Each structure stands twice: as C-alpha cells, then as structure tokens.
Amino acid sequence: MHYRLFCQTPESRFIEIECRIENIVEEVVEIQLPAWRPGRYELQHFAKNIQQFGVFDKNNHPLTFRKITKDRWRVEVGFETEITLRYNYYANVQNAGSSYVSPEFWYINPINLCVYAEGRLDEACTLELDIPDDFRIACGLRKQGKQLLAKDYYELVDSPLLASATIQCQSYEVEGVRFFVWMQGNIKPNWQQILIDFEKFTRSQIEMMGSFPEAEYHFLNLILPTPYYHGVEHRHSTMIVLGPDDEGEGLYTDLLGVSSHELFHAWNIIRIRPQELLPYDFTKENYFSTCFVAEGVTTYYGDLFLRRSRVFDDAAYYRELQVYMKRHFENSRHAAQSLTESSWDLWLDGYEKGIPQRKVSVYHKGALVALILDLTIRKIHHHQRSLDDVMGILWDRFGIPFVGYTLEDYRAVVEEVAGDSLEWYWNDCIVGNLPLENHLNHALVWVGLQLVSFSDGTVHLQELENERATLQRNKWLNP
C-alpha cells in the first residue's frame, strides 16, 4: 500500500489522502480504517473524520463500493489489479493520538487516516508527504526524501510524525543506540540539561533490561501554549504533548516523567505484549486483563528509573509516589472493581471519569501494586531478587521472541522469581479488590516509609526515622 498525503488548504485542517493498492487478485476488496489506536484501549471511530471517500481504477474511472460497517468499505474491483482510494480527513486535534495540519506544521498519526486492505497487513508500505521543501520530518520510520518506509502496516501505524520548518532536534547515544529528542513549539529547550538527564535514565533502563529493542528511538515532543500532559508509546518512538510552554521547571519535570515512562514501554507492551493484543485487531475491542502490568509496572518504573539514575533525588521521587497514592486512595479507595476487571473495562469507560467508585486506575493502583510486589520480593530475597528479575524474564521469554503473555504467564514468572505463591497478592490486590492500605504500609515500613490517612480521606507519604529501614531504602533506590 502506497499513501500520499497532501494539503491544498492546510488552514481548513483537511488533509487529502491518496492510497494506491497494487497486485490485486480478488474481484472484491475490503478496506478498513482502524476503529482504535494502540495505547488507548477504547473505540475512537476515526472514520467520522472522513468527509469524502472514492475509489478509482488505473484510468481514474470510479469503481463501485459500499460501506459494510462504520469504517469498512467493500469495493467491486472486477478484473482491475490496481486501485486508488481518494479521501480526506479532518485533522484538527493536538493530543498525543490525533492529527493536525496547519500551514506551519503537520502532525500525523497514520493510524487515524491510513486505511488497509484486508489480508495485506503484512506487506510493506510507503508514506509520501507533500510538504514544503523547508520542512524537516521527525518520525521513527526510515526516510527517503519526503517518503517514509514501513516494513508492514503495523509498523506504519505505530509511527507518528511531526514535520515543520521550525522543529528542533538533538541526539545522544547509549549502548550503540541513537536517541533523538525532537521539540516542536514555542520553546527554548535547555538542551545541555535534557541530554544529560535523558542519557542517565536511558542508560539505567537499558542496564536493567540488558538490551534495547530498537536500533534508533525518537522522542517526539509537541509543546502547546495551553496546559497539557499526554504521552503515547510506539515502536521506535513516543509522541508526547505537554504545556503550557511558559511553565519552566514544572514542564521539565513533566517531560522527564513522561519520557522515562514512555521509553520503558519500548519493552513493556510494545514487545512484552499481552497475548490478546498480538496481533492487533483494528476493527473492534481487544479485551485484556493485564493492563496493570503494561501501565502500572511502567508507571512504577518510569519514576523509579529517574531516582535510580539520580535525575531525581529522594524528595522528587517521593512526590511522584505520593501522586499515585493520592490518586488511588483519594479517588477510588472504595471502588468495586479489581485491577483485572478495570483493565478489561478500559474499552467501556477507562478514559472517562465514570460513575462513582466503580473502577480503579490501572496506572495508579497498578503502580502501587508493582511497588508492593517489588518490595515483597526484595524482602524475601534480601534485595538479591526483585521486580527487575520479573521484567528481565518477561523480556527474554515473551519480548525478544515477540510472543504474547497471559495473566497466568505473568503470575507464573512472578512466583518463580519470588519463590513463593504470593496467594494474598493475587487474591487481595490483583484479581480481588481488598483495601490496599495494609499491604502497602507493610511493604513501605520495611524501607522506612509510611502512608498516613487523615480523617478527611486525604493521604500523605511520610519518611520514618529508622536506621535499618534507611539501609533497605538505599538498596532499593540506589542499587
């Protein structure tokens, strides 16, 4: 499949797409636009942003087609071996999963607007951008002038791009892998600081996991004048939208937090993938119950790596820990669902506020149960084993060979590392939903920390004066 994107009037926010499909052997072809995007497990119905749609043969004669679902078209190809689809897409949203065009810059998530022909997802794709000559393209895909090359459709739609004449970029290298940091927006980045800090947390992550999944990686940052915080993981890149651009220190802390989190996703979910998401089915919900591993463990490690690599000091790390604690205990302490149930129901109401005390956050409660697990394993094995070993085994057995894992696989690996069945952990914290406070404090007190609950329902993280606990804490945070 070959795609060409062009914009006759970028001010209108409409982008034109021409998709050429060759070597057709069937008389009927089904064309699909994804109904959702990886990283956000809810239906988004991108087809509602298509205003006009047509299909043409080699001589530009229109072919007969009809819609058979909200985002699937059945095209009568007859004996033609090549067809061209021509349609447009309204690109007017600047968040980390959408698309936006203006005369000054293009921001494209190909999953929003690149259709595929059923049965041909594994074929190579090219994406040609009809952009001004002074635009620079930031994207994880291989570049050939204004053309981007993808091994298959899965890679294409896992590769967002920014293009403009004003985009800024610097890079650094760790263990033979080149990391690019791109910045689009009204901002003067402190590159010296960025390169020092990014190199530190990147090195810390690669040291723990042993190897990096990609030969190259791109942090794509779009900085807005308005308050914003959104990041999405991709195969060889991450798309991050932050703001406001005049926030200074706070914006930088957000950049570090979200970047470390997204980088860890390069292993955890991009390659260490729940079995239910392998391969992705872009037409409908892909239910899975392990998002607390994908998002919770990643949230936990995103901040922990910033501490371990000394980008954060203890106080900065505790502030982040306290955020998950506040979000969980102050918002959903009495929620009815377990983590596995809330993971499943992401597709239902995972990204909206929802009704009171129904669901738990796979991010915040997920991070807290990862913390409990890590400290539990460390305590049993005197820091000789930890959650690091669990992630290492998942990487070796499921990530490197790229075969999906199930909830049972995760449980088995945890039990293998812990050397214990940890029944209470699964029953109370993961598939069941008992109050978390006692288990959390039991884990925390060993490293000299404590969660304090006040009568108004608020919580606070406190450091305890205890020499032995301080020793354990140092082994955990400064391995």
Write out the residues near Zn ion by the rule CB under 5 A: 295
Q: Which is nearer to Zn ion, 189 or 366 (CB)?
A: 366
CB neighbour class for 175 (10 Å; exposed up to 12, middle 13-18, buried from 19): exposed
DSSP for 230-297, written as a single string: EEEE-SSEEEEEEE-TT-THHHHHHHHHHHHHHHHHTTBTTTB-BGGGSS--TTS----S-HIIIIII
Task: Quote the CA–CA distance of 278 and 203 in Å, as a whole number.
Answer: 28
Question: Which of 352, 331, 350, 334 has the alpha carbon at shortest distance from 342?
Answer: 350
Supply the minimum distance, in Å, between the C-beta of residue 229 and Zn ion.
Answer: 12
**Shortest Cβ distance from residue 233 to Zn ion (Å)?**
6
Which pair of structure tokens corresponds to residue 102?
């203006």
Least Cβ distance, residue 156 to Zn ion (angstroms): 21
- Closer to Zn ion by Cβ: residue 158 or 295: 295
As a whole number of angstroms, the longest Cα–Cα distance in the chain is 81
Nearer CB in complex with Zn ion: 34/366: 366
The letter for the amino acid at 78 is G
Residue (155 or 295) nearer to Zn ion, CB:
295
CB of residue 299 to Zn ion, shortest distance in Å: 7
Compare residues 71 and 262 and give the one whose CB is closer to Zn ion. Answer: 262
Alpha-carbon distance of 33 to 71, in angstroms, equals 5
Report the residue number, 197 or 295, with the smaller CB distance to Zn ion: 295
Shortest separation between residue 298's beta carbon and Zn ion, angstroms? 5
Q: Which residues does 64 contact at the CB level (< 8 Å), separation at least 6?
A: 75, 76
> What are the φ and ψ backbone dihedral angles of 54, each rounded to 5 degrees?
-150, 155
Q: Quote the least distance from Cβ 258 to Zn ion, whole Å.
A: 9
